Structure 1
Amino acid sequence: MISSKVAFVFIWAVSATVLGAPQQKPQGKEVPIISQESDIQPDGSFKWSFEGGDGTKAEASGQPKQIDKETPVVIQGSASWTDDQGGQHQLTYVADENGYQPQSPDIPVAPEIPAAIQRALEYNAAHPEQDGEK
């Protein structure tokens, strides 16, 4: 029963994404689909891929994984594309019991914590009994 629910949710999510995308007039020529694959198995596992004539690529695969009393589908995937200025972009991700975990050079990285603040944080963590005292 869970595999049909997973397949339904996956198909619904993809359909909602496609149908919910803003409809725009094409700027320039149409981009042909070079390849497209979609395979959904009864156990809930799936494999999906797409490649456009402009070099855009996306793929994802998933398989059920027993976690405690639940059996969610663990997903891994990637996408790559070229922006309007010619910049190359790539994204890889995993979605599992630890949440959505994207990796890309395009994702901003927080600056390092200054050394003095890091020392203060470590001191506070080592001395919790002093929190709130006056």
Structure 2
Amino acid sequence: MFKLSVCLIAALAISAVYADNINKDAQIVRESNDAPDAEGNYAYAYETSNGIAAQEAGNGAGVSGAVRYVSDDGTPISLTYTADENGYHPVGDHLPTPPPIPEAIIRALEYIQSHPQQ
């Protein structure tokens, strides 16, 4: 999971840096890195002069973190996530959401639940 998270963060940072020549002169303005201890706990964080920032903390049981950057069209992107035994769980306003369930389907599901097969 750690490797997946690091690869995801690296891919986001690299794509953001190469997406626009404005980012070529970006400098790291803040950086911290707590290497894994004996129990596997680790943490890192960084921020660049062009507004890219990331942080993550975790252990063998899971991770949590956040990423922030500005997309090519100027939209601020903010993503928080956790990853654990149940998978990867991203949260962000830019992520797609499913459409609402139609009322007829809701009624059908309620009917099925109240009339179990015999």
TM-score between the two structures when normalised by the length of structure 1: 0.68
Say which SS state the counterpart of residue 112 (structure 1) adopts.
coil
Q: Which has the higher contact order (CA 8 A, sep 6+)?
A: 2
Tell me how far apart the structure 2 counterparts of residues 76 and 12 of structure 1 sit (CA, whole Å).
12
Q: Are positions 1:100 and 2:58 aligned together?
A: no
Q: Are positions 1:27 and 2:21 aligned together?
A: yes
Tell me how far apart the structure 1 counterparts of residues 50 and 113 of structure 2 sit (CA, whole Å).
52
**CA deviations over 1:45-65 (Å, ceiling 9, x no partner):** 0011111110110000013xx
Aligned residue identity for 1:62: G
Please tell me whether the aligned partners of residues 45 and 73 of structure 1 are also in contact (alpha carbons under 8 angstroms): no
Partner of 1:14: 6
**Which sections of structure 2, spanning at least 5 residues, go unmatched?**
none
Say which SS state the counterpart of residue 120 (structure 1) adopts.
helix
Deviation at residue 91 of structure 1 after TM alignment: 0.5
Please tell me whether the aligned partners of residues 20 and 72 of structure 2 are also in contact (alpha carbons under 8 angstroms): no
Shift in CA distance, 14/111, structure 1 to aligned 2, threshold 3 Å: closer
TM-score between the two structures when normalised by the length of structure 2: 0.76
Partner of 2:104: 116
Q: Which 4+ runs in 1 deviate beyond 3 A?
A: 9-19
Partner of 1:6: none
Q: Are positions 1:87 and 2:79 aligned together?
A: no
Instruction: Select the structure of larger CA radius of gyration.
Output: 1
Please tell me whether the aligned partners of residues 57 and 64 of structure 2 are also in contact (alpha carbons under 8 angstroms): yes
Q: Pick the structure with more helix per residue.
A: 2
